[in-house]
Structure 1
Amino acid sequence: MNRVLLLPLLFFSVAAVAATRPVPDAMVHPIRVTPPLPALTVLNYHDVVDDLREAGPNDSTAITTDHLIAHFDWLLTNGFHMVSFNDVVAAVEGSRALPPKAVLLTFDDGLQSAYTRVLPLLRAYHYPALMALEGSWMDLPEGKSFDYNGKRCDRHCFLDWAQVRQIQVSGLVEIASHTWDLHRGIVANPQGNVMPAAVTSAYDAAAAKYEDAATYRARLYADLKHSADEIQRQTGRRPRAVVWPYGTFNQVAKQVADSVGLAFSLSLDDASPSLAPDKTIPRVLIPDNIGVDGLAALIYDRHEVQPQRVVQVDLDYVYDPNPAQQERNLSALLDRIKRMAPTQIWLQAYADPDGNGVAESVYFPNRHLPMRADLFSRVAWQLQTRCGVRVYAWLPVLAYRFKEAPGLPSLGAAMPKAGDDVYRLAPWDPRVRRMIGDVYEDLAQHANFSGVLFSDDALMRDGDHLGPWAAHTPAQRTQDLIDFTTALTARVKQWRSQIRTARNLYATPVLRPEAEAWFAQSLPAFLRAYDYVGLMAMPQLDKRSPTDQWFQQLVDAVAREKSGLDHTVFELASKDWRNGQPIPAQVLGEQIRLLQERGARDVGYYPDDFVNGQPALEAIRPFISGSDFPYKSR
């Protein structure tokens, strides 16, 4: 949240086993309901072993043969229809519809078990499947090995080409590319973090520079062409699909894949597949050797709306000119977040050391602003991998000062006085749109994250310098800003195609819809436009006391909107903006409980002062933890 912009607004005052669930009916007789299924479910398996001790100690995706047989039996007896990849292609192209309860089976990595265990089972059940081959693993020179999920593997862990040809001859299996040598990590930042090769701009430590976009494209082109050419040479058929390593992809990579004939792509995601051209098909990863109850839950329950617990973090608190102190700050943050166990971190990506809410420098390489430190990539990756949270990159929408272009038009005064609105550029200007878009795209190219938080600076008032938008109604200006953030999202998705979006919303336009004229913000419009609305449930902004009645009115207003409670994060203040004092964790916790009692599902707070331990960890943890144990989320 822009710390200066908060102040001016004070003046505006799931199938048989697990697919059915009991629903209480007057506490007497339960009604069992079956959740709807998407048109297609794609299941993703890896190694199949007779005994889990055969798999590597870190292999969470291996499944035992008896459990795979149980999966196949359960799918058969519960009316699912296995479809081939050719059936899926026909559905995508509109030439043939899929049967009801359609399932596509996929097996990744080209392991020996695909031939010794999977193929016999596919023949026995007459189930079609898609198998994705990683070429460099199959082509390992004799005597070479590498770590595969904690087990040393040489070329004999994987299929040879004679076995691939026999699998193909069965008529049940289509072969796909799993890339030739992109199923690995590469150095992604100066701190040495290793990230997925297919979606990462490599960092060259010796030259102290990142791979540029052209070099990235050339690297992917060479790899994917090598893979497709080799499969065609060895099998006589060119693959039609690429299965992205680790399930991650971006639009640039998809364009490169399409240029070498890999027109279809598959990822890993809980989303329902969209059977439309140019759409990547998400798959459900089968983890932890689950039985049929776990399989049923994955198929039926994965679209349930899960409660979100959000903590918004200032990266300024991590930064320090002393690298050793900066690492200590990062460790303190990671230890605290791991212990706290929220589900999302909204992480500041721009620098705001003077607290004026304007991005004059940022924490990532980019074309237009000074880089205070190359820090966002490091912190975001550590939070994701060590703490298991989703990280949303928090950036302003309009509050930028580009010294290279001092004449850019703004919505208000060029140098606001104390108590005035934060400096905001005019979003109707094409130069402004291009430069801010460049910043968003540069962040996406250089860092790995799950979503974008559009900050609270995105607002317009009747008294602003509105240029060609002056004649627009408040609702039109609301949509104008939404359209601008949609354009920014498209820039991000060139490099991070699976990101989600959130946007801050003030409470006043929720409680008083006519206040849309003062903000160009609207809850119904935001709910349609973003995955989450970060509603600032902070009565201090209106110079009001945080009374139970105020919170109740806010939740009730959100509840009146369709799916409002499913997509709104009620974000509380952990600091009293009027006096700068921290709000006690117990008070914050009581506010969270009050929101939940009124029906709020998703809650969070800002700021988290991990340096000074505010709010107190053990006091706030029961209220903000997303863990099932020991702290239930509802």
Structure 2
Amino acid sequence: MRAPLLVLLAGWFGIVSAQDIPALVYHDIAETGTSDPFAVSREAFAEQLEYLRAEGYTPVSLSLLGKLQRGEAALPEKPVLITFDDGLASYATIARPLLERYGFPSVLSVVSGWADGQRVPPEYRGKLLDWDALRSLARTSGVELVSHTHDLHHGVPSNPQGNQAPASITRRFDAGSGRYESEEAFRARIRADLELARARFVAELKQPPTGVAWPFGLYDEVLVEEATRLGMKWQLTLDRAPTRAETLPRIHRLTFHRLRNLRQFADMVSLRALRREQVRFVEIDYDLLSPQDPARFEQRLSQLLRRLELLRVGGVVLRPFSADGKQAYFPTSTMPFAADTLNRVLHQLRSRLHLDHLYLRIPVEATTSAPAILAEDLGRLNRFSGVIVSDAREPSTGVFVRRLRYHQPTLRVGVLNGTVVTADAQFVLREITATSETDTVEREARKWLSRDSKAWFLVQRDAATEDQLRDALVALRRAGAAHFGYSPDDFVAARPRATDIVSTLLAHTVVRHVD
């Protein structure tokens, strides 16, 4: 890439705030183009390194971050951490020579089981570094090796419907007994794997791993506790959040997926894409899934997936309780559960549609009797982005949220129709009724945005026509709302009509940002 374009990109994309430490994670560096959506070509990688150099970024090491924590060093003006997952041979043959040319340090995570030749994915056979190559890298200046676990990249059964989910975070479902793995058994399994990973590092590399990159970026406090106990201080995740000095030793990394050009890279490393994300979502009536009728449930779930594909939304809100609030759609000892279907729904929304924003609406009555137990039952068996609560200041809600974060460390909490964001909540979700008075909708939205520019809005359809719903969404965009959706979406009757609502729902809101 020519220098003039690099200069142009610098002016276009801004700079990183002094607090932010962009952390990048690569996988394979390919000689040429590849069908692997996470791979980056040699040419693109070289352009990206040149961009970092030209724009004054200073790649940092884990060692430097450790000194920062101890008060022995300061961050450079524009730091960036460069990491590679999986221990692929292209790191040594392509990436490392280019990094060395620029004097850039990097971190490589290694799946010790794969280095031993165990359970290697078909697409990685013949492409991984062996222990001899890893020993050479361990002696190389500017290279830091961490664990990527020993054997936690495979799937295990996660629900009665037979879905497979990452072994590193999933409490296994046993179809024979109809039970989920206990917390004691789960912890023991994680501990055994991490102990073996550490032992293999010590045996082969003569050094223990100082950190761990969690498989698929997923983790909870059980994993953190076990890794920390073994001296794996650094916790490398894929959380959708910036890394800052105060988040260390947890490092949130940005991954490459179908990266098309240098402009996208500049957008990513500056954290601009993360800061300026706009979320559009729908709320669905869980009872429409007919969760108590297995055959109809699967049919309705397929309908929901097809519907959401048409709408192209980035998020979904679910209420995993019956309409009367007396039964749950996940196993819990705090109330009867009507059917064990929530894990299946969330799994399909994530794996089939790759939705990043899955929120559960939690009615206040659900958390009044045993909030910690409800949080334990919900959080340990299901993966979701956040919850929406009625009042974050309610003591039982606070207990619920804090316990839920043990199993969902990246949990985001929205307060329904709240006026302020509390210590336990990250955003306010305002409900607005769609009416013929669109000026009223816009005024109401502007009022709340003047108090909180990051407020979310949920338009209630009620008796509104589809034209009124569409006009209400346009009014929210005119008011400057970046995050909004509507409720309910009738995915069975396909209302509102997708052709009438998609362009309005997805249209970008022009928001003035101060970077």
Shift in alpha-carbon separation, 1:450–1:17, aligned structure 2, 3 A: farther
- Counterpart position of 1:565: 453
One-letter code aligned to 1:80: Y
- What does 1:308-327 align with in structure 2 at a 5 Å threshold? 308-327=279-298
Structure 1 Cα separation of the partners of residues 490 and 103 of structure 2:
58
Q: Sequence identity, in percent? A: 25
Query: Which of 426, 439, 443 does residue 553 from structure 1 map onto?
Result: 443
- Counterpart position of 1:36: 17
One-letter code aligned to 1:245: P
1:171 match: secondary structure: coil
Query: Which of 137, 146, 150 does residue 176 from structure 1 map onto?
Result: 146
1:88-119, CA deviations, whole angstroms, 9 ceiling, x for partnerless residues?
A: 11112322112111112111101111222223
1:575 match: secondary structure: coil
1:114 match: secondary structure: helix
> Is residue 453 from structure 1 mapped to residue 363 from structure 2 by the alignment?
no
Q: Is the 8 A contact 1:309 1:604 kept in 2?
A: yes
Shift of 1:388: 2.7
> Is residue 531 from structure 1 mapped to residue 416 from structure 2 by the alignment?
no
Shift of 1:19: 3.8
Shift of 1:597: 1.7
One-letter code aligned to 1:132: S
- What does 1:45-444 align with in structure 2 at a 5 Å threshold? 45-53=26-34, 57=35, 59-140=36-117, 146-147=121-122, 151=123, 153-154=124-125, 156-276=126-246, 279-300=249-270, 301-352=272-323, 356=324, 359-400=325-366, 425=368, 432=369, 435-444=370-379
- Counterpart position of 2:416: 504
- Counterpart position of 2:513: none
Structure 2 Cα separation of the partners of residues 385 and 245 of structure 1:
15
Q: Is the 8 A contact 2:442 2:478 kept in 1?
A: no
- Counterpart position of 1:5: none
Structure 2 Cα separation of the partners of residues 504 and 335 of structure 1:
28
Structure 2 Cα separation of the partners of residues 114 and 35 of structure 1:
27
Structure 2 Cα separation of the partners of residues 368 and 248 of structure 1:
27
Shift of 1:325: 1.2
Q: Is the 8 A contact 2:280 2:315 kept in 1?
A: yes
1:180 match: secondary structure: coil
Query: Which of 599, 620, 633 does residue 480 from structure 2 map onto?
Result: 599
Structure 2 Cα separation of the partners of residues 245 and 537 of structure 1:
40
One-letter code aligned to 2:121: F
One-letter code aligned to 1:190: P
Structure 2 Cα separation of the partners of residues 480 and 270 of structure 1:
26
Structure 2 Cα separation of the partners of residues 592 and 169 of structure 1:
58
Q: Is the 8 A contact 2:292 2:338 kept in 1?
A: no
In structure 1, the gaps of 5 or more residues are 1-13, 22-31, 401-423, 426-431, 459-478, 506-521, 540-544, 577-582, 626-630
Shift of 1:601: 2.4
- Counterpart position of 2:467: 586
Shift of 1:48: 1.2
Structure 1 Cα separation of the partners of residues 263 and 320 of structure 2:
41
Q: Is the 8 A contact 1:17 1:296 kept in 2?
A: no
Shift of 1:345: 0.4
One-letter code aligned to 2:228: D
One-letter code aligned to 2:9: A
2:212 match: secondary structure: strand
CA RMSD of aligned residues (A): 2.3
1:495-525, CA deviations, whole angstroms, 9 ceiling, x for partnerless residues?
A: 12122121211xxxxxxxxxxxxxxxx51x2
Shift in alpha-carbon separation, 1:360–1:19, aligned structure 2, 3 A: farther
Normalising by structure 1, we get a TM-score of: 0.75
Q: Is the 8 A contact 2:439 2:475 kept in 1?
A: no
Shift in alpha-carbon separation, 1:187–1:367, aligned structure 2, 3 A: same
Shift in alpha-carbon separation, 1:73–1:391, aligned structure 2, 3 A: closer
- Counterpart position of 1:429: none
2:22 match: secondary structure: strand
Shift of 1:620: 2.1
1:176-199, CA deviations, whole angstroms, 9 ceiling, x for partnerless residues?
A: 000001123222111111222211
Query: Which of 16, 28, 31 does residue 7 from structure 2 map onto?
Result: 16
Shift of 1:366: 1.5
Structure 2 Cα separation of the partners of residues 82 and 219 of structure 1:
35
Shift in alpha-carbon separation, 1:145–1:266, aligned structure 2, 3 A: closer
1:351 match: secondary structure: coil
- What does 1:482-501 align with in structure 2 at a 5 Å threshold? 484-501=396-413
Structure 1 Cα separation of the partners of residues 424 and 372 of structure 2:
18
Q: Is the 8 A contact 1:93 1:276 kept in 2?
A: no
Structure 2 Cα separation of the partners of residues 534 and 110 of structure 1:
43
One-letter code aligned to 2:258: D
Structure 2 Cα separation of the partners of residues 500 and 597 of structure 1:
26
Q: Is the 8 A contact 2:481 2:509 kept in 1?
A: no
Structure 2 Cα separation of the partners of residues 161 and 69 of structure 1:
27
One-letter code aligned to 2:432: A
Shift in alpha-carbon separation, 1:213–1:553, aligned structure 2, 3 A: same
Shift of 1:218: 0.5
One-letter code aligned to 1:195: A
1:541-594, CA deviations, whole angstroms, 9 ceiling, x for partnerless residues?
A: xxxx65234323312321321xx232x222111123xxxxxx222210011112
Shift in alpha-carbon separation, 1:265–1:589, aligned structure 2, 3 A: same
Q: Is the 8 A contact 2:416 2:431 kept in 1?
A: yes
Q: Is the 8 A contact 1:347 1:391 kept in 2?
A: no
Shift of 1:167: 0.7
Structure 1 Cα separation of the partners of residues 249 and 142 of structure 2:
24
One-letter code aligned to 2:21: L
Shift of 1:34: 4.5
Shift in alpha-carbon separation, 1:221–1:529, aligned structure 2, 3 A: closer
Shift of 1:278: 6.0
Structure 2 Cα separation of the partners of residues 370 and 501 of structure 1:
25
Q: Is the 8 A contact 2:320 2:342 kept in 1?
A: yes
Normalising by structure 2, we get a TM-score of: 0.92
One-letter code aligned to 1:558: W
Structure 1 Cα separation of the partners of residues 21 and 508 of structure 2:
32
- Counterpart position of 1:4: none
1:132 match: secondary structure: strand
More relative contact order, 1 or 2 (CA 8 Å, 6+ apart): 1
1:320-378, CA deviations, whole angstroms, 9 ceiling, x for partnerless residues?
A: 433221111111111111110112101111122xxx4xx22101112221111111111
2:453 match: secondary structure: helix
One-letter code aligned to 1:284: L
Structure 2 Cα separation of the partners of residues 294 and 164 of structure 1:
32
1:443-468, CA deviations, whole angstroms, 9 ceiling, x for partnerless residues?
A: 111111111121x4x4xxxxxxxxxx
One-letter code aligned to 1:140: G
1:31-54, CA deviations, whole angstroms, 9 ceiling, x for partnerless residues?
A: x9646354422111111121234x
Structure 2 Cα separation of the partners of residues 111 and 320 of structure 1:
43
1:191-217, CA deviations, whole angstroms, 9 ceiling, x for partnerless residues?
A: 111222211111122322111111110
Q: Is the 8 A contact 1:345 1:390 kept in 2?
A: no
1:291-332, CA deviations, whole angstroms, 9 ceiling, x for partnerless residues?
A: 432221111213333222121112111024332211111111
Q: Is the 8 A contact 1:347 1:380 kept in 2?
A: no
1:257 match: secondary structure: helix
Structure 1 Cα separation of the partners of residues 199 and 344 of structure 2:
36
Shift in alpha-carbon separation, 1:283–1:621, aligned structure 2, 3 A: same
Q: Is the 8 A contact 1:39 1:273 kept in 2?
A: yes
- Counterpart position of 1:409: none
